[in-house]
Structure formats: structure tokens, C-alpha cells
Amino acid sequence: MKVPWRRVSSWHCSACGKCCREYRVPLTFGEYLRFKKLGLVEEKRKFYLRKINGKCPFQIGNICSIQDKKPIVCKLFPFTIRFRGNDDALYWYGDEEYYVYIDVSCKNIVFGSPTKSLKERINEAIELFNGLRTRVHLLQCLNC
């Protein structure tokens, strides 16, 4: 389930690996070209990474082995960014408006009033979403 960002106080990645095991990874066209040799799953004109033994083929233990090259949806997790949505999901980045949702299935979501740290993570997610950055800093496990 996804909730508007305003309902979340904070989030951090603890590298539990749950997101790599439990979610399908939809690919952009560029990612499709990069990963197609691994074998993909096609469903309704969308391509997904094929899981091996129930987990992402790049997951070693609980850690992603291709951190900087992983698909954008993985870099953004647990954030989802849209151009339309509910008013309580509205987030201003500069003079641009986005609608930001957070997947609460992640065990490290803390509900409450949004902290500065959460807003910094949202800013990074929007920069990734817009292609303004490719490397992840705040959205990955900081102690890994």
C-alpha cells in the first residue's frame, strides 16, 4: 500500500532485502536493452526482470550487487513519483509540482510529521526520476 509522503515522518534503508524478493521490477526501454540477456518476463507490453529462486538475480545476501546500475524503480523504492495525484501527496521541487507516495510495506517507514531527512530523500528521488542524477546516496543503505 502506498500513502502520501505527508503521512510519513522518516524512512531509511536497512538492507533487509525484502524489496528485492517481494516485488517485480518493471524496466524502462533502456533497462530492457541492458538486461535482456538475463531473460525477462513480458506481461501486457511491459518487461520485468526474471527472478531466480524467488529473488532478483542481482541480490547477493540482502545487498544489490549492481547498486549504481540498478533499475530506476529499485533506486526509487519505497518512493513513487507521479505528475498527478491527491493533494496530500503534492510536493514542490523548485517550481515543479510532483505527487509523492511511499510504499508502507517497507518495515523502516515511521509515520508522523515529515522530517527534514525525509524531504532530502524525496528531493533525491525526484532528481533520480528526472535524470538529474544517476548515483544514489540517501536512498540506499548508509551502513552497507
Each residue's pLDDT tens digit, 6-54:
999 999 999 999 999 888 899 999 999 888 887 778 788 889 888 888 8
Q: How many domains does the chain have?
A: 1
User: Is residue 89 a part of any domain in this protein?
Assistant: yes
Residue 134's pLDDT band, with cuts at 50, 70 and 90, is confident
User: Is residue 100 a part of any domain in this protein?
Assistant: yes
The boundaries of the domain holding residue 62 are 2-129
Q: What is the pTM of this model?
A: 0.90
Q: Residue 143's pLDDT is what?
A: 63
Q: Give pLDDT tens digits for 59-97.
A: 999 889 988 889 999 999 999 999 999 999 999 999 999
CB-CB contact of 77 with 22 (8 Å): no
Residue 144's pLDDT band, with cuts at 50, 70 and 90, is low
User: Is residue 137 a part of any domain in this protein?
Assistant: no
Is it the case that residue 117 has pLDDT exceeding 90? yes
User: Is residue 86 a part of any domain in this protein?
Assistant: yes
User: Is residue 140 a part of any domain in this protein?
Assistant: no
User: Is residue 142 a part of any domain in this protein?
Assistant: no
Beta bridge partners of residue 93, listed in sequence order? 96
